[in-house]
Structures are given as structure tokens and as C-alpha cells.
Amino acid sequence: MSSENEIADLVSVMHGNSREIASKAVGSSGFSMALGTITATGLMIDNFRYEITDYMVLDYLTMDKEYFTDTNTAGEDSHSHKVKTPDELKPLNIGDRVVVATIGAQNIIMGRVKVNA
């Protein structure tokens, strides 16, 4: 056997062992990520058969309405400015595609995704 074959065999074994160790570490922690879709009554994760109704959403996806800032400057009339909430930060809608992290028994929507066109 040539030294090139021995090195290739060694690299192959090391690569396989590294992948196995990483898989065990992630799998045993109960952490995974998947894509899902918001439904009228919950969340459907692509790799799970049943609809989930008990899930969490990161705060930045819950900015429902436009809001106003109040400016109260000494000696001047106070006034306010309307701040428009960007669509990307508004609450999730039926049909939105989302990234879902599963940690133990908890499903957490990490963000909305869209096709990059």
C-alpha cells in the first residue's frame, strides 16, 4: 500500500469520526432547526407531521403597529413623529415561511424567510 493511500484512508476515518462526534453532540442536546409555515391555527414544521399550537416567537417579530415618538423640548411646543414599522418586523401572517429552532420540547420561531429573487 502506498503512503498516499494510507494518508487518504486516515483522512477518511478522521472525517467520519468528526462527523459522528458532531452529530452526537447536537443530537444529544435536543437542538435542531427546520423550516416551517404559519397556519391559521399554529405552526407546521416541514419535518414534523402535526401542527404545533404552543410555540414561541422572538420579540422583534411582534411589532404590531406604527408608533409615535414624543418630543418635549424646554421652551418649545411638544410634538410627535410617526415611526413606521418595517414590514419585516411586523407580526407573522398565515403562509409566512419561518426558521424554527427546537430546543428540548420548545419550538421557537427565529425569523421569517423568503425566496431570494
pLDDT at 5 over 60: yes
Where do we find the cell 404590531? 64
pTM reported for the whole predicted model: 0.62
Tell me if 1 is assigned to some domain.
Answer: no
Least confident of 40-44, 63-67, 102-106: 63-67
Better-predicted residue by pLDDT, 71 or 18:
71
| Enclosing H/E stretch for 83 | strand 79-83
pLDDT at 43 over 60: yes
Closest CA to 58 of 108, 10, 94: 108
Task: Report whether 37 contacts 97 (CB < 8 A).
Answer: yes
Closest CA to 67 of 78, 79, 58, 80: 80
Q: How many domains does the chain have?
A: 1
Better-predicted residue by pLDDT, 39 or 61:
39
Tell me if 95 is assigned to some domain.
Answer: yes
Tell me if 78 is assigned to some domain.
Answer: yes
pLDDT at 25 over 60: no
